[in-house]
Amino acid sequence: MARISESTVRRLSHYYRVLDEVQAEGKRMISSHRLAEREGITSAQVRKDLSYFGSFGRRGLGYNVQHLREEIRAILGLERRWRVALVGAGNIGAALLAYRGFEKQGFDVVAVFDRDTARVGQRLGALVVQDIARLPAAATAGAFDIGVIATPIQAAQEVADALVAAGVRGILNFAPRKLFVPDVVALRTVDMAMEFESLSFALTQARGPRRRKG
């Protein structure tokens, strides 16, 4: 199978959510056009994205909502559950834990680590915060699939290394810096500072873009 672009995967994720809504509305079929409309993209994009994985629609009719939803669910690997290790029990970490939405989608936070001794031992949701030093010991084979880094920026690379050593195959990073991990480990970064700065740029441009220097 050809390499699938990150943008296609992101859109699949969106289609999946739209299909949930559409199903809740009681619709049985949906066309690429309607699906695209709800995402603010073109119908060709929808059809192209789906075509990388197979032919799920019927000409003249569109896509069966439930069927397409299940196909995308399988494509995204959401038929199984993923064990998540959270590192950093600060604001972001606590917010992630408190939000039960991920659990519903198959992502179970099964352990929380922090370096701050004031936090270690405290209860956070159903879990007790463990000392980060205990990560290697806790990481028995396959204990964690995904690691979430919600630490201050200075600790991020070190934690990433520790998570890789602990055998995670994917990392979600909330620290605003580039992390280096082996190729076999998937890495995604959510950089909120960058999003704010991107907005700042857009708003600055809107008023009157800077002149380009010679």
The beta strands (E) that lie in the chain are given as 29-30, 57-58, 62-64, 82-87, 107-114, 123-124, 127-128, 130-131, 146-149, 170-173, 186-189
User: For residue 45, with 0-12 CB atoms within 10 Å meaning exposed, 13-18 middle and 19 or more buried, which class applies?
Assistant: middle
The answer to the question of residue 137 lying near DNA (CB under 7 A) is: no
Quick one: 10 or 134, whose CB is closer to its own copies? 10
Quick one: 8 or 66, whose CB is closer to its own copies? 8
The answer to the question of residue 178 lying near DNA (CB under 7 A) is: no
In the stretch 3-42, what mask flags binding to DNA with x, by CB under 7 A?
x-xxxx---------------------xxxxx------xx
Which pair of structure tokens corresponds to residue 145? 């699939």
81 binds, among its own copies, DNA, none (CB under 5 to 8 A by kind): none
76-105 binders of its own copies (CB under 8 A):
76-78, 82, 91-92, 94-96, 98-99, 101-102, 105
Which pair of structure tokens corresponds to residue 182? 């082996």
50-69 binders of DNA (CB under 7 A):
50-51, 54-63
In the stretch 164-183, what mask flags binding to its own copies with x, by CB under 8 A?
-----xxxx---xxx-x---
- Enumerate residues 6+ apart whose C-beta is below 8 A from 144: 83, 84, 85, 110, 111, 163, 166, 167, 168
Q: How many helices (H) and strands (E) does the chain have?
A: 9, 11
Which pair of structure tokens corresponds to residue 20? 């949930």
112-141 binders of its own copies (CB under 8 A):
none
Report the alpha-carbon distance of residue 51 to residue 78 in Å, rounded: 20
Quick one: 120 or 171, whose CB is closer to its own copies? 171
User: Token match 């195959």: residue?
Assistant: 169
CB of 160 to DNA, least distance (A): 22
The footprint of DNA (CB under 7 A) covers: 3, 5-8, 30-34, 41-45, 47-48, 50-51, 54-63
